[in-house]
Structure 1
Amino acid sequence: MKPLEGLAVYDDADFYDQEFAARTHDIPFFLGQAVAARGPVLEVACGTGRITLPIARAGVDVTGLDVVPSMLARARRRAEEERLAVEWLEQDCRNICTAKRFDRVFSATNAMQHLHDLDSAVGFLTSARNTLMPGGTLILDVFNPDMAKLSRRPEAPYRHKSVVDRDGTTLDVQATTSYDRSTQVLRFTLDYLRGDVCVRTKKVSMRCFFPEELLALCRLAGLDVVQRCGDYDQSSFTSASPKQILFCRAPLPAPIDL
């Protein structure tokens, strides 16, 4: 497996919380899945608890896993402030070590796309499968590659979004991207601008998983894809869907012949 790449963008957990404070549109989907679970729930790459904590507030037995210490420290602090009982695991998702078994495991918001090589992707899928109860469900959430976006020229920056900084000022985020077809890795350079001054730069690398490829990887890891959606509203997946949300079922024990 290749070393995980580009995780330094998550070192500043407080700014991450500030940057994504307004991102809430995906929470109802994952919260609904967690509440419907027949047992404990695990969020892989939980970050600062943006989704984990709402699940805990609903009274669900939830565990959060992340490999970045600063993100988990922020998540723990937030949980302690609210007196929420959450187990936090500082682990690599390609080798999850826990005696607990889960009815739902999920990886939200493109987190799986930090796994750039085949061994890492299969390692995660296999490790997640092994933490599931028999018949449990792994939910994957990655973007559906858009060829027009992958074809953007590196020398052509574009406005990506705006965020509110910690001091309350607005930062415009300018992005440039380059796509490596040989590795299927899309690289972003994000410049955070206050007026004409760049106050912060992030470099993010995301592995693109194409639809049939992702189905094959799940099958290779011993998972049965039972549903595929195109967005958090659980609409049917099409070539134009912005997301690939897969429901992958762990195998049931083989029947015993008597």
Structure 2
Amino acid sequence: MTLDIFEKNLEKYTDPVKYDELYNHYQEDLAIILECAQDSNQPIIELACGTGRLTIPMARKGFRMYGIDIHTGMLNHAKRKSETENLNIQFMQQDCTKLNLPINSPLIYMTGNSFQHFLTNESQDDLFTSVKKHLQSKGSFIFDTRNPILKELANVEETVERKTINNKQIVNEKHLEVYDHNTQILHCTTTSEIIENGTLIITNKDSILLRYTFPLELERLLKSNGFELVELYGSWKKTRFNKDSVSMVVHCRLKD
């Protein structure tokens, strides 16, 4: 897996500032991460950290953080956000399948369904190999991925979503989603209209590919890479996982 291959699937993050405005408020995943970090005085690694949505609040809690992402713009925005505070964060641009960090950590995590960017079996295995090299003995890896609900994936889906930014701009997003059963990849296209004071000011179109992984695949992936499952939740609220769960929130641990 190379930088170029990942870069072909990053249209969704072209405008880091706008992306941050849309998603920075989301904090449901923070509670579990904090619980697993506890009072660790050792550095913690966040993969696919984006604009620092979790890296920055974790550092505010006193944790030494390494924020890793492949996207230059997202990392630069995260750095700008953290510059006004004296936070212990090392932001680094790296491919998560080829991590080369100067530390080993008791906790590595990756949220925001970033796991779905690893589109092939090989890239998933490479991710776990890379994580394994940077985890301490019995260290934890926490990540989430959308649950493949077949009745939803079976049909072409068109939806419209309306969001408000800073009580000033309205964003209408039109989503088209088509699932390929052979590759287990969902092809998503979004057309966004940004309206301010009743006037259409921007129209954007982007696409993204998202790999879906089934529970038994996940079990194989963990075992074959030397991990054991600690918990599998259906959401970041620790709901019990079942066939209708929106997410698979995975807490796994490195075996000796």
Q: Could you tell me the TM-score, scaled by structure 1's length?
A: 0.90
Structure with greater strand share of residues: 2
The answer (yes or no) to whether the contact 2:41–2:64 under 8 Å persists in 1 is no
Partners of 1:194 and 1:56 in 2: CA distance: 33
Contact 2:107/2:139, CA 8 A, preserved across alignment = yes
Are 1:123 and 2:121 matched, yes or no?
no
Alignment of structure 1 residues 190-209 onto 2, 5 Å? 190-194=190-194, 199-209=203-213
Is 2:158 aligned against 1:157? Answer: yes
Q: Which runs of 5+ in 1 are unaligned?
A: 253-258
Which shows bigger deviation, 173-182 or 163-172?
A: 163-172
Spell out the pairing of 1:63-142 with structure 2 (5 A cutoff): 63-142=66-145
2:134 aligned with 1:146: no
TM-score, with normalisation over the residues of structure 2? 0.90
Q: Secondary structure at the match of 1:82?
A: coil
Listed one character per residue, the Cα deviations across residues 23-62 of structure 1 (whole Å, up to 9, x for unaligned) are 2222223233333546321110000000111100000111
Deviation at 1:233, TM superposition (A): 1.8
Residue in 2 that maps onto 1:43:
46
Distance (Å, rounded) in 2 between the aligned partners of 1:152 and 1:141: 24
Shift of 1:131: 0.5
Letter aligned with residue 212 of structure 1: L
Aligned to 2:169: 169
Matched residue type, 2:203: V
The secondary structure found in structure 2 opposite 1:206 is strand
In 2, the alpha carbon distance for the partners of 1:179 and 1:125 equals: 25
1:13-28 matches, within 5 Å, as: 13-28=16-31
**C-alpha separation in 1, matches of 2:215 and 2:71:** 28
1:68 & 1:58 partners in 2: Cα distance? 25
Partners of 1:37 and 1:202 lie apart in 2 by: 40
Residue 236 of structure 1 corresponds to which residue in structure 2? 240
CA offsets per residue over residues 123-163 of structure 1, 9 Å max, x none? 0011111100111000121111111221222xx5212x323
In structure 1, distance between residues paired with 2:135 and 2:56: 21
Letter in 1 for 2:136: M
Q: For 2:245 and 2:14, how far apart are their aligned partners in 1?
A: 31
In structure 1, what is the Cα distance between the partners aligned to 2:232 and 2:180?
A: 27
Matched residue count: 249
Residue by residue over 1:139-198, the C-alpha shift from the partner in whole angstroms, topping out at 9 and shown as x without a partner, is 121111111221222xx5212x32335792111111111001111000111111247967
Matches within 5 A, 1:201-220: 201-220=205-224
Deviates more, 1:143-152 or 1:18-27: 18-27
In 2, distance between residues paired with 1:167 and 1:199? 19
Q: 1:214: Cα distance to partner? A: 1.0
Distance in 1 between residues matched to 2:57 and 2:102, nearest whole Å? 24
- State how far apart, in whole Å, the 2-side matches of 1:50 and 1:31 are: 14
Cα pair distance change 1:91/1:28, threshold 3 Å:
same
Give the Cα–Cα distance (whole angstroms) in 2 for the partners of residues 214 and 157 of structure 1: 28
1:223 offset after TM fit, Å? 1.2
